Amino acid sequence: MITIKNLKKSFRTEEVETLALNNVNLNVAEGEFVAIMGPSGCGKSTLLNIIGMLDNPTEGSYNFAGNEVGGLKESQRTQLRKGNLGFVFQSFNLIDELTVYENVELPLIYLKMSKSERKEKVMKVLERMKIAHRSKHFPQQLSGGQQQRVAISRAVVTNPKLILADEPTGNLDSKNGIEVMNLLTELNQEGTTIVMVTHSDRDSHYAHRIVNLFDGQIVTESQNRAMGAVV
Ligand code: ADP
Ligand code: MG
């Protein structure tokens, strides 16, 4: 699903140039659950943002599901992102002015789905994430664990092929963190590919494979368990 070759990313701010990713090579197969680990500032989020087509590499190539991403126009990239990718962030990134229902409905509006179809899909995913009873509430009225379940609902309502999660349990206590990891594992077992950035050894055990980044380079990779193995 993902083939990344000789990827480099540098950021230039005034006088300083930061090489955030330095010659990264990474393949992720369909159905895999990969954890990216490493110290703060080593390039984890930069890599995830490039995989999510939210940012472009400075050098190298990125192929997603047979599409050479570097060669696409912005409109084609947006099209590829819609419906294929779901994002989950540490800080939930919900829209405070919209209700739980409206937050989760938003990606379906972008897909130009009819109102009745949207309602069916939103309620189904909210029920599955055990948050349907809060559908008319606003994000600030919810606990952190509930907000992350809404964010996961929003990420999966379009049935994406790939979920990108950047420290999804970073703001959660261990009970809610484990619940989020169990939800991601369930989605993975149903076939969704997951690439997750984490600082947590506990969370990394849910993945098939751990990729360790240091100073913008992949330094080690280790296999946790085979794909398809029971956790
Ligand atoms: P991590 O997620 O592993 O903590 P990041 O990918 O956020 O690391 O950052 C990697 C490096 O790139 C850091 O040195 C960071 O300061 C720098 N960086 C990230 N984003 C930007 C940006 N938009 N502009 C300038 N520097 C950036
Ligand atoms: Mg980060």
- 135-173 tens-digit pLDDT: 999 999 999 999 999 999 999 999 999 999 999 999 999
The yes-or-no verdict on residue 229 having pLDDT over 80 is no
Q: Which atom of ligand 1 is nearest to the CA of 39?
A: 3
Name which residue sits closest to atom 16 of ligand 1, judged by CA: 41
- SS3 readout for 187-219: HHHCCCEEEEECCCHHHHCCCCEEEEEECCEEE
Find all residues with CB under 8 Å of 142, minimum gap 6, and list them. Answer: 100, 134, 150
Q: For position 225, what pLDDT does the model report?
A: 81
Q: Whose CA is nearest to atom 22 of ligand 1?
A: 11
What is the C-alpha to C-alpha distance for residues 53 and 74, in angstroms, rounded to an integer? 10
Residues 6+ apart with CB under 8 A from 41: none
Nearest to 168 by CA among 203, 134, 135, 216: 203
Distance CA 195, CA 68 (A): 19
pLDDT band at residue 7 using 50, 70 and 90 as cut-offs: very high
pTM to 2 decimal places? 0.94
Separation of CA 10 and ligand 2 centre (Å): 15
Residues 6+ apart with CB under 8 A from 167: 89, 90, 197, 198, 199
Phi-psi region of 37 (alpha: psi -120 to 50; beta: other; left: phi over 0): beta
What gap in Å lies between CA 53 and CA 56, rounded to an integer? 7
45 lines ligand 1 (CB under 6 A): yes
Task: Return the amino acid letter for 113.
Answer: M
ipTM above threshold 0.90:
yes
Among 4, 2, 7, CA closest to 216 = 7
Cβ–Cβ contacts within 10 Å for residue 221, how many?
11
Give the number of the atom of ligand 1 that is nearest the alpha carbon of residue 166. 2
pLDDT digits (tens, 9 = 90+) for 58-71: 999 999 999 999 99
For residue 136, the CA-to-ligand 2 centroid distance in Å is 31
Look over the chain and give the mean of its residue pLDDT values, rounded to a whole number: 95
Atom 26 in ligand 1: residue holding the nearest Cα? 11
Written as one letter, the residue type at 166 is D
Q: How far away, in angstroms, is 7 Cα from ligand 1 center?
A: 15
18 Cβ closer than 6 Å to some ligand 1 atom = yes
> Hunting for tokens 């849910």 — which residue is that?
206
Per the structure block, which two tokens stand in for 154? 């929003």
If we measure between CA atoms, which residue out of 78, 75, 49, 45 comes closest to residue 62? 49
